[in-house]
Amino acid sequence: MTLFLALFGAADGVWLARIPAVKQQLGLSDGVLGMALLASPAGVILVALVAGRLVDRVGSGLPTAVAGVLVPLLPIGFGLAGSLAELVAALLAFGLAAGLLDVAANVHALRVQRAYQRPLISSFHAWYSGGAIGGALLGGAFAWASVSPAVSFAAVGIPLAGVALLAARGLLRGREEGIPETGDSERALPPGARAGAGAAGRSRHVSLRLLVLGVLAMCSLLGEGAAGNWSAVYLHDNLAAPAGLAAIGFAAFSAAMTAGRMAGDRLAARFGPVRLMRGAGLLAAAGLGGGLLSGDPAGAIVGFAVFGAGLSVTFPQLMWAAADADPLRPGSAVARVAGMGYVGLLGGPVLIGGCATMAGLTRALTIPMVLMVGLALAARAVARPAADRAVARPADAPAG
């Protein structure tokens, strides 16, 4: 399972590092490239609900395997694109595969976590972050060596697709635990919810909880998008940092996020999801706020690192809470919350850019800081029912 998330991150990282080369190859302006890049997250959002229903119907293993092979291969199309239309089509296809992998892999990771009876979801997400860092470094090495984009993507994608094919043998088979077979939905409901009114009340409660979790996911991924798109710009344009130093801001954010996710499961087991979410939101807000107040490149870099450390555990916890909110349809639940989150990832940088035009980038970057405080205040949304709290007790975990 970890390999699928790592290769997902690696494919993303290589692509991000080679965007300038693809831009130059096609002769695109900044504005046209920006519009083209919207195709990939649009594909992720479009496929989200379909992916959720597919996972609920056939289980998470098969979609994870199929999408895990496609995600590293499809970027080859970016390098082979000879026109803007071909690039947009390739980006859309990549987004569709990435959206399917994201939903299926998260549900599968939660299924593995339930089997082990201890928190694992943050560690799984850490493998994505680590893969993204490795992919970006590899893509940078290809760029330094003047390797063409198509060769770069093929050199990375083909071996990763082979690894995915081999790793697919280790995925769990069948449907997710707790998902009723077609026609058995009524029997699978709790006794008090089998009556029409009770079932309707339960459905409204689930929908409301998923809406709240989706809004929080939107806030979380807006923070990630803000750091990814604006940290270097802030350091370079507002604090007059050299271009090389400015790039360290996002590197520090990414490294801290990876480390935070590696520690996230132990923290969840020790403090529980609510206290972890509350502390993480406050830490992220304090880090970003302190970095903005420092007025110094070094202070801002430290601030972005602390921001990443706090933000690191929020999205994994929200995925866990989403599947927990509707155990009969975990795929659809995760897809709904993740889909709303990607709206934040897609629209957040645009929102910050618009606000920066009117009020300056420093003030605009207070938006994710305020949203992190909101995550802390709404931490009760990730509370688990009593039946699932055993997962957060390390003493219950099997040896090994």
pLDDT in tens, 51-69: 888 988 888 889 999 999 9
Cα(99)–Cα(106) distance, integer angstroms: 11
SS (H, E, C) 340-380: HHHHHHHHHHHHHHHHHHHHCHHHHCHHHHHHHHHHHHCHH
Among 153, 170, 187, the domain boundary falls at 170
Cβ(14)–Cβ(160) below 8 Å: no
Which range of residues forms the domain containing residue 123? 2-170
pLDDT over 50 (residue 387): no
Burial class of residue 240 (count of CB atoms within 10 Å of its CB; 0-12, 13-18, 19+): exposed
282 inside domain: yes
Cα 68 from chain centre:
15
Residues 139 and 212 in one domain: no
Average pLDDT over residues 390-399: 43
**Does 166 share its domain with 49?**
yes
Helix and strand numbers, DSSP H then E, in the chain: 17, 0
**Domain end call among 170, 189, 223:** 170
pLDDT at 34: 72
Q: Does one domain contain both 148 and 254?
A: no
Q: How many CA atoms lie within 13 A of 400 on its CB side?
A: 0
Q: What's the CATH number where 28 sits? A: 1.20.1250.20
- Whether 158 and 214 map to the same domain: the answer is no
> Is the same domain home to 212 and 156?
no
pLDDT > 90: what percent of the chain?
41
Contact call for residues 307 and 288 (beta carbons, < 8 A): yes
* Lowest-confidence pick of 1-5, 157-161, 263-267, 272-276: 1-5
Domains contained in the chain, number = 2
- The answer on 222 and 155 residing in a single domain is no
The tens digit of pLDDT for each residue in 168-224 reads: 888 887 665 543 333 333 434 444 444 455 556 667 888 899 999 999 999 999 998
Please give the sequence-ordered ranges of beta strands (E in DSSP) within the chain, or none if there are none: none
Asked if 309 and 357 sit in the same domain, the reply is yes
Query: What is the pLDDT, as a whole number, of residue 308?
Result: 94
- Structure confidence at residue 283 (pLDDT): 97
pLDDT for position 316: 93
d(CA 158, CA 20): 22
pLDDT at site 300: 94
